[in-house]
Chains A and B, each alone.
Chain A
Amino acid sequence: MPPPADPAAARLERELKHTRPLIGCRFDPSGRFLFVSAEDDGIYRFDLLTGGKVALAGHASWVRGMACVTPPVPVAGAGQAQDWERRQVTLGAAAGFAAATLPPPKLPPFTLVSGDYHGKLIWWPGDADTPKPLRVVEAHKGWVRSLAVSPDGKTVASCGNDNAVRLWKADDGSPLRTLEGHTSHVYNVAFHPDGRRLASCDLKGVVKDWDLKTGTADREFDAKVLWKYDPVFMADIGGARGMAFSADGSKLACCGITNVSNAFAGVGNPAVVVFDWKDGKPRVLKPKDVFQGTAWGVAFHPAGFILAAGGGSGGRAWFWTDDVTSTHMLTLPAGGRDMALSADGSRFAVAGANGTAYVYTFNPGPASAPAPPSAPPVKK
Chain B
Amino acid sequence: MIPCSYACHSHEHAVTRRGFLAGAAGLGATAALGPLGFAAPEATAHLARSHKRVLVIFLWGGLSQLESWDPKPNTDTGGPFKAIPTSVPGIHISELLPHTARQAHRLAIVRSLNSFSDDHGIGERIMLTGRKPEPGIEYPELGAVAARLLAHTSDSALPGHIKILPRDGGGSENKADAAFLGPKYASVSLRDGQPPADIRRPPELSPESDAAREEFRRRLNARFARSRRSAATDAYTESFEQAERVVRQAAVFDVEREDPRVADRYGRHDFGRHLLLARRLLEAGVSYVKVSHSNYDTHHENFDFHIEQLGEFDRPFATLLDDLADRGLLESTLVIVMSEMGRTPRINDRYGRDHWSRAWSVVLAGCGIKGGAVVGKTNATGTAVTDREVNSGHLFHTYLRAVGLDPTKNFYPNERPVPIADPKTAAIQEILA
Q: Which residues of A contact B (CB under 8 A)?
A: 20-21, 39-41, 60-62, 116-118, 142-143, 161, 231-237, 263-266, 293, 311-312, 334-335, 353-354
Does A41 lie within 8 Å of B74, measured CB to CB? yes
Interface string of B295-336 (1 = CB under 8 A from A): 101111100110111000000000000000000000000000
Nearest opposing residue in chain A for B305, CB measure: A235
Is B242 in contact with chain A by the CB < 8 A criterion?
Answer: no
Does A237 lie within 8 Å of B350, measured CB to CB? no
| B270 CB, min distance to chain A CBs, angstroms | 8
In the bound complex, residues from chain B placing their C-beta under 8 Å from that of A41 are 74
Q: Is the interface of A mostly helix, strand, loop or mixed?
A: loop
Does B307 lie within 8 Å of A264, measured CB to CB? no
Does A264 lie within 8 Å of B305, measured CB to CB? yes
Nearest opposing residue in chain B for A293, CB measure: B350
A20, B294: Cα distance in complex, Å: 31
A285, B166: Cα distance in complex, Å: 36
A181, B238: Cα distance in complex, Å: 58
Is B259 in contact with chain A by the CB < 8 A criterion?
Answer: no
Is B76 in contact with chain A by the CB < 8 A criterion?
Answer: yes
Of the listed residues B79, B167, B300, B347, the one surrounded by the most CB atoms of chain A closer than 10 A to its CB is B300
Q: Which residues of B contact A (CB under 8 A)?
A: 61, 74, 76, 79-82, 166-169, 270, 294-295, 297-301, 304-305, 307-309, 347, 349-350, 352
Does A21 lie within 8 Å of B295, measured CB to CB? no
Does A232 lie within 8 Å of B299, measured CB to CB? no
Nearest opposing residue in chain A for B297, CB measure: A264
Does A266 lie within 8 Å of B305, measured CB to CB? no
Nearest opposing residue in chain A for B303, CB measure: A117
Which among A117, A235, A354 is the interface contact of B309 at CB below 8 angstroms? A235
Which among A142, A233, A293 is the interface contact of B295 at CB below 8 angstroms? A233
In the bound complex, residues from chain B placing their C-beta under 8 Å from that of A39 are 76, 347
9 contacts between A and B (CB under 8 A): A39-B76, A40-B76, A118-B82, A233-B297, A234-B295, A235-B305, A235-B308, A264-B298, A265-B299
In the bound complex, residues from chain A placing their C-beta under 8 Å from that of B297 are 233, 264
In the bound complex, residues from chain B placing their C-beta under 8 Å from that of A236 are 308
| A234 CB, min distance to chain B CBs, angstroms | 5
A263, B307: Cα distance in complex, Å: 14
| B306 CB, min distance to chain A CBs, angstroms | 10
Does A266 lie within 8 Å of B299, measured CB to CB? yes
Does A335 lie within 8 Å of B350, measured CB to CB? yes
Does A263 lie within 8 Å of B305, measured CB to CB? yes
Q: Which 10 A-B pairs have the closest CB atoms?
A: A266-B300, A353-B349, A117-B80, A62-B80, A233-B295, A335-B349, A61-B80, A235-B308, A235-B305, A266-B350
| B354 CB, min distance to chain A CBs, angstroms | 11
A265, B298: Cα distance in complex, Å: 7
A234, B82: Cα distance in complex, Å: 25
- List 9 additional contacts besides A60-B74, A234-B167; criterion CB under 8 Å: A39-B347, A62-B80, A118-B82, A232-B295, A233-B305, A234-B168, A236-B308, A263-B300, A293-B350
| B211 CB, min distance to chain A CBs, angstroms | 42
Of the listed residues A20, A235, A311, the one surrounded by the most CB atoms of chain B closer than 10 A to its CB is A235
In the bound complex, residues from chain B placing their C-beta under 8 Å from that of A264 are 61, 295, 297-300, 305, 352
A200, B166: Cα distance in complex, Å: 34
Known: A234-B294, A265-B299. A311 touches B350 (CB 8 A): yes
In the bound complex, residues from chain A placing their C-beta under 8 Å from that of B167 are 231, 234
Does A311 lie within 8 Å of B349, measured CB to CB? yes
| B99 CB, min distance to chain A CBs, angstroms | 15
In the bound complex, residues from chain B placing their C-beta under 8 Å from that of A237 are 301, 304-305
Does B299 lie within 8 Å of A231, measured CB to CB? no
Nearest opposing residue in chain B for A266, CB measure: B300
| B192 CB, min distance to chain A CBs, angstroms | 11
Nearest opposing residue in chain B for A233, CB measure: B295
In the bound complex, residues from chain B placing their C-beta under 8 Å from that of A354 are 349
Does A232 lie within 8 Å of B74, measured CB to CB? no
In the bound complex, residues from chain A placing their C-beta under 8 Å from that of B350 are 266, 293, 311-312, 335, 353
Which among B166, B299, B349 is the interface contact of A334 at CB below 8 angstroms? B349
Known: A118-B82, A264-B61, A266-B352. A235 touches B295 (CB 8 A): yes
